Structure 1
Amino acid sequence: MGKTASLSAVNAKIGKLNSKFLKDEDYINLSHYKTTRDILNYLKENTDVGGELSLYDTTYEAELKMRNYRRAQLEKISHYFSGDYKELSNALMSEFEIEDIKKILRVLQRKNDSQILNYKDLNIDIERFKIDRNSTIQTFIDSLKNTKYYKVLRAYENESDDVILFYMEMNLDKIYYSSLLEATKKFSKADLEVVSKLIGSKIDLLNVTWIYRGLKYYSLLPEELINFCILGGNRLNYNKLKALCYEETVDSLVETILKTEYKFLFDAEKRDIYMDRRASRYLYYTAKRESIRGVSNIGKYLGYTFLLDYEVKDISAILETTRFDIDFEEKLKFLVRSYKGSEL
């Protein structure tokens, strides 16, 4: 199947998949429920993702099943691709492998034997990753020797407990986003514009958030900040990122960002609490636009990957907030999509 033909087939497939997304009224209905059992029942009766769930699932079990649902949907689409598009699809799928590695590192860092014994419950392939009760961060990293993760993780395996996970996870993110950009290098101009708007903007937002938190909470040096930045963003090239990293104070950094496309991160109260939500909301509506426009480019596919991720995140947010007995109006503030009164 040629490149154009495969994209046409994917766009047709995604058109059907888009129709299965929850509607605004579904999220309103779900947010009114007082128990997770009622939420699961509604999902089972009214949504496609609900077919994967059980009324007796814990919140954690439901989240794992929705993760598997998202992975399965992306794998189905991947079969239609070849060539450059297939490379991008494979790179996107590596997110799940990287998230598994992060989970394992977190458990090993905590040295909690009971969790190590329950890796199957965490939905991790323990045979593939060669882990058991005696595993340590060092032995786990050694088991990755023939992978692209080994070198970067080994560089930090002797760091202190308070920073080791931070350094490793930041570098895993760099590997992931670098692989996405590498996979798109031969794309057409039209496709690259979509990649820049979605993947590039996400990289920008991750970098801004990282620089802000690194300066405010860790008092890191400019050289340390720039070292963890991901290159290849939409609006923030290396020189602009470097300038941000060399801002002397948090206030001056914020003032600079307020003059950019990403001012929404800081131009409201409670900036720290809702920063990630604002970034996701920006990307959500960008993805919706590109999904509609992407008739003859990669936009419909990339938009779908973002929208599917945010659907799972929003359902998970409703389950979590219901579990903690948070009221309807407050629940809406935890969603990626925006409703009147939930502006952050």
Structure 2
Amino acid sequence: MSVHIRRCRAAIGFAVAMIILLSCGCARQQQQQVITEERRQEAISLYVDALMLNELNEHDEALEKLQLATELDPELAVAFSLKGDVYQATEDFENSADSYETATELDPWSFKDFFNLGKVTQVMKQFVRSVQAYVRACEIEPEHYEANLNAGKVYYHLKEYDLAFDYASHAKKIDPNSAAPEIILGDIFEVRKDHPKAIEAYRRALERQGNKPEILVPLAVAYLRTGRYEAAAELLDTSLEMDPNDFMAHQYMGFAHLKLRDPDSAIISYETAAQIEPEDWMARKGLGIAYMIKANYAGDKALKQRGLDQWKMSLEYKPDQPKLQMLLDKYSK
């Protein structure tokens, strides 16, 4: 047999062997694909079961199905998304947030998951994590009212007032008839000490939503800061009719009465605030001032001592009050 023939036979044999090897490899790959597809179909079936169980408020059973589904298919984004929903419904916000976060990693264009991630982390006061989610949600759906509104709220909590203003302003543009953006804008103007603009924003909110404590009280505070004490007292009185346990409203009412030279009414308001919230250092400080004013008018040492005692309590709750400490030292002599 010639060398040439032997070489041809060897080449043919090698080619046949390679074809057989490749065929085996393709068969195994096809088998693996079949297994993967079967697992995915099973995972989807479990997800559908969980969806129905969640609709029936069978949350534990739904989570069991979803756990199995995500084990079978760790890239099934909708399963992690539904996990987030179920955990959110049961107020397990930490697990809800983690589930939504995984869903967003698997599907970076899921508005629903970014938005819900923002919501549950906002509840947990994880504001940096929350605002990142809301900002991404706004990138996906720029005209979504609630996403912009909540981004504004969270940026306000983070003291990023310029960004809070931008998002709240855009929410207002999306829904000009809503009160909520006006409240945020009013709060931002107050931080900037632009009290006239804050008053305008709060009044627009009042026109849109009516008498609500969450609007009446900040508007009253803005009035107090601009010297409109009677108007402030009137708003606070209306608010306290709706929410008599709002210790901050009682505290502000005490301040309004002091400015209106009515220490007796101020004492009643401050005492009520202190009863509702015993560690309200501002109420204790104001109550001390009111007692000292009355003591000065009447020359009553007992009232003076009451005032000093309230100042001492205020300093216990908030020691860093150098001016109040000076007053206490001065009048304790």
Higher-helix-fraction structure: 2
Shorter-normalised TM range = under 0.3
TM-score, normalised via structure 2 length: 0.26
Larger RCO of the pair (alpha carbons < 8 Å, separation 6+): 1
Q: Larger Cα Rg: Structure 1 or Structure 2? A: 2
